[in-house]
Structure 1
């Protein structure tokens, strides 16, 4: 039987409407009975008992804000009668609260084993401009080389961006790190690095970051060095395709998978359906020796202590504290408050405060201990659950996940989006209506979790889906031919 509402935690002061509820409807729970004072939209909250002004409102068993006025039982709770409790940097204490997952033998997927031992889930040719000045050149090469796409070359795609020159400080270094990370990404069977020749992040600078990486399938072209740089680029791409002609998918244990965790366009059901399903998937993968990466640090604010107390040791705890307070300092340095979130779409979907959003967002991390904390552009080193420094912006965060080594990004959403990233991006709906309205955007529906499916059942189905995707099944954004990237910009542009 389809559920109409849910009280997520027995201590919660609110319940969430799983479908639109009408004024006058009586809601009967195990320890309460309320009559709704007004209509409650899907994904929105209503009170289970009277709330006094200034009293904390509990959801997920934790405060999501406080009442700005007295609120009667059965009343709609949203931005009009509650506010955040968040503030600036805090002092934290480590109180370990986790259980290591029971290890399981890893399943396999069909992927590409690279010479350096890494595993790819795609065999694509990537054209990576060092600077925005050659974006159109890269796009022209991409267009001509589409005839190479076939059994062994799964895509030819250019990743345009506006950076690589006229950047100051960390911005320039971030650009170099992200570009160098993508150059050696295992999903690329071949890479053309397309430079201009006079830019700050030129080919010589990038090679310094590449160090002793295997560059046997990387071609470098400085446009200023050739009469016809497009023709030269096309010839290099064809050379790469020739090197890829014998590449085959082979069985690879899933402990070689690195999966990025991201959400966007969230609604009131995201923390109830899609995010918990991804969290259960994360635990299944980590238990089999695999790796997941959770990012979008501003959407950890308000739920950060839950992650800190899952730090595998005090060193990881200290790094997590630095991750959180460092990002808050970034906000303050730019004269912004740390709680300027959620977005208008989030609010329309039922999310009222950043704590509300964050407690739902962090559900994607499951229950595994945190084994690593990564700076922006840093490649993953530790298996298991990792935290990554990056903002909440969808394109920037998804690109950061790919740059850190994720071969696939899982993207949960309640509102929907067509965007992609440098790697296959699986769109996961929090509600069934979105799947019906936008079938060309969504890959997997978690709305059934409040209809006729249990979380363990759905998590196992989703695990199979991810294995299929890693083995070559295209996502909706791949079918549309979308490949996006975006780099984090923080400072001055000359």
Structure 2
């Protein structure tokens, strides 16, 4: 199955190179040979026909940009001769193209059922600061609490963030909602909320955003009100450990599993291997009654109409239009170009324009119907494919997925990254060289779909991998102890 290139769609006027190719090398495309006019790295594009200036460049059967000059057959196609075709203001129409699937809820996983009715895949204790001023305190408590760990408790973890004070408006509400959402997460058997005592978003304010059914798993400490905050915090944790260690895994239906979908450090193969594999996984989980969440609104730009056509009804379509236009307006209000993406790393990996990136990015959503569109800080309440408001930033978006209820995040990458969010973050490589080079980061390789396996086989393998992780199998970032939390900030700091 060795291939030097792939033509994704018959309508494409570019091919994607699957291995480094030297200048003047001949490759056979369709019924004719093409001489490659420059050295081209894998993941990058080559014109398979002459493309005139201002003519559309087609990949995935969709427009990914326009030629800024005439591009000869065999020429490398990238930022030097291609630009985005997107405008800041688009008009959208609802043209429903829904993929209805019969639900077959036959598979299960072993999770921890909480008193709230939610199901976690880890049995952990989390320490959450309500304000950045106590970050050092919660980290010291975390360090000293490691002696309390028992076999049935996966981790005792503190999550730092810089907010909780000197915020107003949406930023203040976002901090409160995200902290409340994380505190309510079922992967945590119990949570210790640690406040300073004089902040805007203190313990009492966070608890106002917590559902009553989740409050019984939370304990609180206000540092200004105790003599020794470290000793007091450890005493509380000792009690929580005694309660948490009695939790047991039980069989749970896949309708209780929520998986977040995210990509970062994408390359030219991400939309060909990793993201389509995740899309197949997403369809399999939705068919079993489970839920997936696609986020990164700026990386929907250029592919948003196809997502809109998959919305279950007109009101859901209108929510998505409002989400897309609202995020564009956020860029405009901050005097930033809407289509600044892709990043330098994306470009080095072969992604040329935002359309190129988005059309690959959104393939993580598979073909399922969009059942709901969530605002930042909202939680999933409908089984199926959900779209979530968040920027593309890896840490912010992944934290938003966890806050929305995802017990696991699938993170595809063509460049590699070691980070993890508050829930198990499965790293999925788009190419096998990355998997081999950064095996200490990457949990699953989809580069094998180019030679050894089909995409469908990779999707099924990933589905089985996720079930294993849900059942307790530890992934690379967990073994390394990597965990991060980041909150979206848009406005002023007082």
| TM-score bin (small chain) | over 0.9
Tell me if the contact between 1:449 and 1:458 (Cα under 8 Å) persists in the aligned partners.
yes
Give the superposition deviation at 1:115: 1.1
> Which residue in 2 is equivalent to 1:272?
272
CA distance in 2, matches of 1:440, 1:318: 43
Structure 1 unmatched runs, 5+: none
> Which residue in 1 is equivalent to 2:480?
480
Q: Mean alpha-carbon deviation: is it higher for 30-39 or for 303-312? A: 30-39
> Which residue in 1 is equivalent to 2:72?
72
> Which residue in 2 is equivalent to 1:382?
382
Whether 1:54 aligns to 2:40 is: no
CA distance in 1, matches of 2:95, 2:31: 31
CA distance in 2, matches of 1:418, 1:122: 20
Give the superposition deviation at 1:151: 1.7
CA distance in 1, matches of 2:459, 2:82: 34
> Which residue in 2 is equivalent to 1:179?
179
> Which residue in 1 is equivalent to 2:93?
93
CA distance in 1, matches of 2:301, 2:275: 17
SS of residue paired to 1:213 = helix
> Which residue in 2 is equivalent to 1:412?
412
Tell me if the contact between 1:195 and 1:203 (Cα under 8 Å) persists in the aligned partners.
yes
Give the superposition deviation at 1:89: 2.5
Tell me if the contact between 2:105 and 2:255 (Cα under 8 Å) persists in the aligned partners.
no
Whether 1:256 aligns to 2:259 is: no
Tell me if the contact between 2:43 and 2:268 (Cα under 8 Å) persists in the aligned partners.
yes
CA distance in 2, matches of 1:387, 1:245: 35
CA distance in 2, matches of 1:425, 1:245: 24
SS of residue paired to 2:213 = coil
CA distance in 1, matches of 2:32, 2:192: 63
> Which residue in 1 is equivalent to 2:323?
323
> Which residue in 1 is equivalent to 2:160?
160
> Which residue in 1 is equivalent to 2:63?
63
CA distance in 1, matches of 2:151, 2:359: 43
SS of residue paired to 2:57 = strand
> Which residue in 2 is equivalent to 1:108?
108
Tell me if the contact between 1:112 and 1:120 (Cα under 8 Å) persists in the aligned partners.
yes
Give the superposition deviation at 1:217: 2.0
CA distance in 2, matches of 1:342, 1:29: 28
Tell me if the contact between 1:32 and 1:48 (Cα under 8 Å) persists in the aligned partners.
no
1:306/1:32 CA distance change after superposition, 3 Å = farther
1:371/1:341 CA distance change after superposition, 3 Å = same
> Which residue in 1 is equivalent to 2:224?
224
CA distance in 2, matches of 1:87, 1:236: 55
> Which residue in 2 is equivalent to 1:39?
39
CA distance in 1, matches of 2:314, 2:111: 36
CA distance in 2, matches of 1:10, 1:254: 37
CA distance in 2, matches of 1:164, 1:59: 45
- 1:295-334 superposed matches below 5 A: 295-334=295-334
Q: Give the number of equivalent residue pairs.
A: 494
Tell me if the contact between 1:106 and 1:289 (Cα under 8 Å) persists in the aligned partners.
no
SS of residue paired to 1:472 = coil
Q: What CA deviation, in whole Å up to 9, does each residue of 1:390-448 have, x standing for no partner?
A: 00000000000000000000000000000010000000000000011111110000000
Tell me if the contact between 2:150 and 2:245 (Cα under 8 Å) persists in the aligned partners.
no
CA distance in 2, matches of 1:180, 1:371: 24
CA distance in 2, matches of 1:359, 1:31: 27
**TM-score with structure 2 length normalisation?**
0.99
Give the superposition deviation at 1:246: 1.2
RMSD after superposition: 0.9
Whether 1:399 aligns to 2:399 is: yes
CA distance in 2, matches of 1:3, 1:240: 56
Give the superposition deviation at 1:4: 1.3
Tell me if the contact between 1:296 and 1:391 (Cα under 8 Å) persists in the aligned partners.
yes
Structure 2 unmatched runs, 5+: none
Whether 1:140 aligns to 2:140 is: yes
- 1:21-36 superposed matches below 5 A: 21-36=21-36
Q: Mean alpha-carbon deviation: is it higher for 104-113 or for 51-60? A: 104-113
> Which residue in 2 is equivalent to 1:282?
282
CA distance in 2, matches of 1:98, 1:70: 38
SS of residue paired to 2:214 = coil
CA distance in 2, matches of 1:472, 1:306: 36
**TM-score with structure 1 length normalisation?**
0.99
Q: Mean alpha-carbon deviation: is it higher for 277-286 or for 30-39? A: 30-39
Give the superposition deviation at 1:215: 2.1
CA distance in 2, matches of 1:89, 1:293: 26
1:8/1:382 CA distance change after superposition, 3 Å = same
CA distance in 2, matches of 1:205, 1:20: 56
CA distance in 1, matches of 2:480, 2:211: 35
CA distance in 2, matches of 1:57, 1:50: 10
Tell me if the contact between 2:320 and 2:373 (Cα under 8 Å) persists in the aligned partners.
yes
SS of residue paired to 2:373 = strand
Give the superposition deviation at 1:31: 4.2
Whether 1:245 aligns to 2:245 is: yes
SS of residue paired to 2:387 = strand
> Which residue in 2 is equivalent to 1:188?
188
Q: What CA deviation, in whole Å up to 9, does each residue of 1:197-231 have, x standing for no partner?
A: 11000111112111423322211001111000111
Tell me if the contact between 1:410 and 1:428 (Cα under 8 Å) persists in the aligned partners.
yes
Give the superposition deviation at 1:105: 2.6
CA distance in 1, matches of 2:121, 2:220: 24
CA distance in 2, matches of 1:268, 1:247: 44
SS of residue paired to 1:493 = coil
> Which residue in 2 is equivalent to 1:369?
369
Tell me if the contact between 1:440 and 1:476 (Cα under 8 Å) persists in the aligned partners.
yes
